[in-house]
Amino acid sequence: MPAPVSVPRTPDTEGGAALHRLVLASLDDDQAVDTISIPLAGKSSIADHMVIASGRSTRQVASMATKLAEKIKAETGQTARIEGLPTADWVLIDAGDVIIHLFRPEVRSFYNLERMWAFGDTPAGAA
């Protein structure tokens, strides 16, 4: 049996950009706090964008995640994969070209994903 062949991901710039705009608009509509977008094209093959946002409570985080998954399904026909919804401290949504992390503020500051994924974006020595 031949070994599986890894095919490099090619960015779907048109679809990926539309999905990215949809995610940002949905989070804005749901009053997400401190929304940031980290471009991953050229840094990682998992996605073109990573969006990180906070909700004020577990209820808001769960609501934002559910609504976002529904909007992605309605607009693109894709089913987004969701992890962490029962507790809603940190919810990960894999929408293909866009990865979304939704946090409660305390959990977000603990994991500090922005700093981890901002490699190469800040000068050495800046913290």
For helices 58-76 and 13-29, give the axis angle rounded to 10 degrees: 140
The answer to whether residue 18 is domain-embedded is no
Report pLDDT for 45.
Answer: 85
Residue 57 has pLDDT above 70, yes or no: yes
For the stretch 85-110, pLDDT in tens is: 999 999 999 999 999 999 999 999 99
The answer to whether residue 23 is domain-embedded is no
Mean pLDDT of the chain: 86
The answer to whether residue 3 is domain-embedded is no
The answer to whether residue 13 is domain-embedded is no
**DSSP secondary structure letters along the chain:** -PPPPPPPP---HHHHHHHHHHHHHHHHHTT-EEEEEEE-TTT-SS-SEEEEEE-SSHHHHHHHHHHHHHHHHHHH----EEESTTT-SEEEEE-SSEEEEEE-HHHHHHH-HHHHH-TTTS-TT--
Whether the pTM exceeds 0.85: the reply is no
What domain count does the chain have? 1
For the stretch 29-42, pLDDT in tens is: 999 999 999 998 88
Which carries the bigger pLDDT value, residue 115 or residue 72? 72
The residue segments making up the domain with residue 39 are: 33-117
Here the CATH number for the domain that contains residue 96 is 3.30.460.10
The answer to whether residue 122 is domain-embedded is no
The answer to whether residue 74 is domain-embedded is yes
The answer to whether residue 123 is domain-embedded is no
In angstroms, rounded to a whole number, what is the distance separating the alpha carbons of residues 98 and 68? 12
The answer to whether residue 25 is domain-embedded is no
Q: Is the distance from CB of 47 to CB of 97 less than 8 angstroms? A: yes
